[in-house]
Amino acid sequence: MELFAQGLVAIMQPGTLILMIAGTAIGILFGALPGLTATMAVALFLPVTYGMKPAMGLAVLIALWIGATSGGLIAAILLKIPGTPSSVATCFDGHPMQEKGEGAKALGVGIVFSFLGTMFSLIALVFIAPPLAKVALSFGPVEYFAIAIFSLMLIVSLSTDSMLKGIFSGLVGFVFATVGIAPVDAVLRYTFGTVELTSGFNTLCVLIGLFAISEVIKTAESSKLEGKAEIAQVTRIKGFGFTMKEFMSQKWNFLISALIGTGIGILPGIGGGTSNLVAYMVVKKSSKYPEKFGTGIIDGIVASEVSNNASIGGALIPLMTLGIPGDAVTALLLGGFMIHGIAPGPMLFVNYGPLVYTVFAAVFVSTLLMLVLEFAGIRIFVKLLSIPNYILLPIVFVLCVVGAFGLSSRIFDVWSILLFGAVGYYFVKFKIPQAPFIIGFVLGPMAETNFRRGLMMTDDSFLGFFESPIAAVFMGLTLVIMLWTIYGEVRKKQSILRSGD
C-alpha cells in the first residue's frame, strides 16, 4: 500500500495528470471513431513519450489504452459499428437498445461496467503480478526459452483460423527480428552492407507501420472514406442510466465476464478482441433467457464491456512479470519501457518497484478519468463521429511519419514504417493474422538468445532443456497444443471435403 500511495502521488503531479486527462480523451475518440483502434492510438503517441520521464510516459500510454478500449462502445451502440475489435459483441444488444429508444441506458450500462471490469483486472494485476514475479526470479535461460516457445505456439493456435497462416506470420516476424547484430556472438546478419540495418529494425517503427499505416491504407481503399451521414442522437442520461435493481441483477454476469476477460488477457496474443465474444457466448448459454440476447438487453452489453476491459489488467500480468506482451497494445507498451531503458520482467519488481506501482496507480486513475470523461463528454464524442475519414486519415498518416522520424532523426525510420505498413496491408488482404508477426518479432530474439545460452549451460545438449521441471512442463504443453491444433486443422479439412462431396 505504501508503494501504491507513492505511485498515486507520482500520477497526481499536475503535469502528469493533465497529460493523462488528454490521453484518456484522445483514447476515447480513437475508440469511438470507426477505423481507429486502441493499438493505433498507442502506436501513434508512443514517440511522443520519448522525451518524458518513464512514469509520465507510461501513464499517458495506459490512459490512451483504457480510453480507447472503452470508447469503442459509443459507435457500437449508436451506429452498430464496433469502434474497436473489443466492442464487436457490444453491437449485438447495444444497437437494438438504441433503436428502442434506450440508447442512453445502453451507454450508461456500458460505461459503468467498463469501469468495473478494468477495476477487477487491476485488483487481479496487483495480487497476481508480484508473487508471479518472485517465482520468475528463479527462471534461467532454459525456462525463458520454453515460455517463449509456448507463447508463440499459443498465439499461432488461438489467434487465427488457419494454423499455417499463423505459423507463416510468426516466422516472418522472427525473420525481420534477425536483421542486425546476432546475440551472443555479435555476427552481422542480413544487413547487405547497409549501415542503418546494423542495429536492426526499430521496434516502434515496426509497430507503427504494421498497425497504424496499414490501417490507414486499408481504410483508404474501402468505402468508409465517405464518412457517416447520419449520427444518432443521445438523450440526457439521468444518474447512470439504470436502476440499482438492474445493476444487482448483473452480479453473476459481471463476475463470469470479468474472470473470462482477465484469463484471456493473460494468454499471450489474444486480448479483448476475443474475450468480448467468448464472454458474450458463455453468458448467453448460461442465461435463463438466451432467446432475448440480440434483441436489446443489458446482459449482452455487460458481458462484452466487462470482459474486454478486464483483459487490460490480464494482459499486463505476463508483460510486467515475464517481459512477454499479452497482446498488440502491450507489445507497444513493451516498446514504451524499452525506449526508457527499462526491461520488463521479474527484475522490474526488484529494480523499479516504485515504477511498477506507478503503473498500477496509472491504471486506477485512468479508469476513473474514463468514467468521468465518457459521462461528461458523451454528446461531444457522438458529434465527432461525423468527421469523414478522408479528413482524419491524412492527419493520422502525417503524425505517424513525424513520430517515426522523431525517434532517431533518421529518414530510414520513415521508410521502415512504410515498409511494415505495406506488410501489414497485405497481411490484411490475404487474411494473415498480424498478432503472430509482432509477437514473433518481439519474442523471437528472446527465444533465440535464451536457446543459445541454454545450450551453453547444457553442453550443447537439447535434452538438458527437459531437465528443468518448469521448462519440461511448458515444452510438453507446447507439443500438446501443436498436436491438438494440427488435429483440428485435419478435421476441418475433412469436413470441408465431405461437404463438397
Distance (Å, whole) CA 421 – CA 340 = 25
Mean residue pLDDT of the chain comes to 81
Evaluate whether residue 227 is within a structural domain: no
Q: What is the pLDDT of residue 501?
A: 56
Distance (Å, whole) CA 329 – CA 395 = 21
Angle at 86 between CA 83 and CA 87, to 5 degrees: 55
Q: What is the pLDDT of residue 381?
A: 63
Residue matched to cell numbers 533518421: 410
Taken in order 409, 440, 322, 158, is the CA torsion positive or negative? positive
How do residues 256-278 score in pLDDT, each as one tens digit?
999 988 887 877 655 666 678 77
Distance (Å, whole) CA 337 – CA 486 = 36
Q: What is the 3-state secondary structure (H, E, C) of 382-417?
A: HHHCCCCHHHHHHHHHHHHHHHHHHHHCCHHHHHHH
How do residues 1-34 score in pLDDT, each as one tens digit?
777 788 888 888 898 999 999 999 999 888 877 6
Evaluate whether residue 245 is within a structural domain: yes
CA distances from 417 to 1, 185, 197, 250 (A): 42, 29, 14, 45
Q: What is the pLDDT of residue 382?
A: 62
Distance (Å, whole) CA 11 – CA 368 = 13
Evaluate whether residue 233 is within a structural domain: no
Evaluate whether residue 232 is within a structural domain: no
Q: How many domains does the chain divide into? A: 1
Evaluate whether residue 235 is within a structural domain: no
Domain range for 82: 2-222+241-500
**Residue 419 confidence class, pLDDT cut points 50, 70, 90:** very high
Residue 377 pLDDT exceeds 90: no
Q: What is the pLDDT of residue 120?
A: 93
Q: What is the pLDDT of residue 227?
A: 46
Evaluate whether residue 293 is within a structural domain: yes
Q: Is the pTM of this model over 0.85?
A: no
Residue 128 pLDDT exceeds 70: yes
How do residues 33-65 score in pLDDT, each as one tens digit?
766 778 778 888 888 888 888 889 899 999 999
Residue matched to cell numbers 493499438: 39
Distance (Å, whole) CA 124 – CA 106 = 27
For residues 228 and 391, which has the higher predicted lDDT (pLDDT)? Answer: 391
The cell for 69 is 478500449
Residues 389-415 have a mean pLDDT of 79
Distance (Å, whole) CA 202 – CA 408 = 10
Distance (Å, whole) CA 495 – CA 489 = 10
Residues 479-494 have a mean pLDDT of 81
Which residues, 6 or more positions from 103, have their beta carbon under 8 angstroms from its beta carbon?
77, 78, 97, 232, 233, 234, 235
Distance (Å, whole) CA 417 – CA 415 = 6
How do residues 65-91 score in pLDDT, each as one tens digit?
999 888 888 878 877 766 666 777 888
How do residues 182-235 score in pLDDT, each as one tens digit?
887 788 888 888 888 888 888 778 877 887 788 788 877 775 444 444 455 555
CB 20 within 8 A of CB 65: no
Evaluate whether residue 298 is within a structural domain: yes
Neighbours of 165 (CB within 10 A): 18
Buried b (16+ CB within 10 A) or exposed e, 319-351: bbbbbbbbbbbbbbbbbbbebbebebbbebbee
Which range has the top average pLDDT, 31-40, 327-336, 379-388, 446-455?
Answer: 446-455
Evaluate whether residue 184 is within a structural domain: yes
Q: What is the pLDDT of residue 225?
A: 45
How do residues 160-177 score in pLDDT, each as one tens digit?
556 778 888 888 988 998
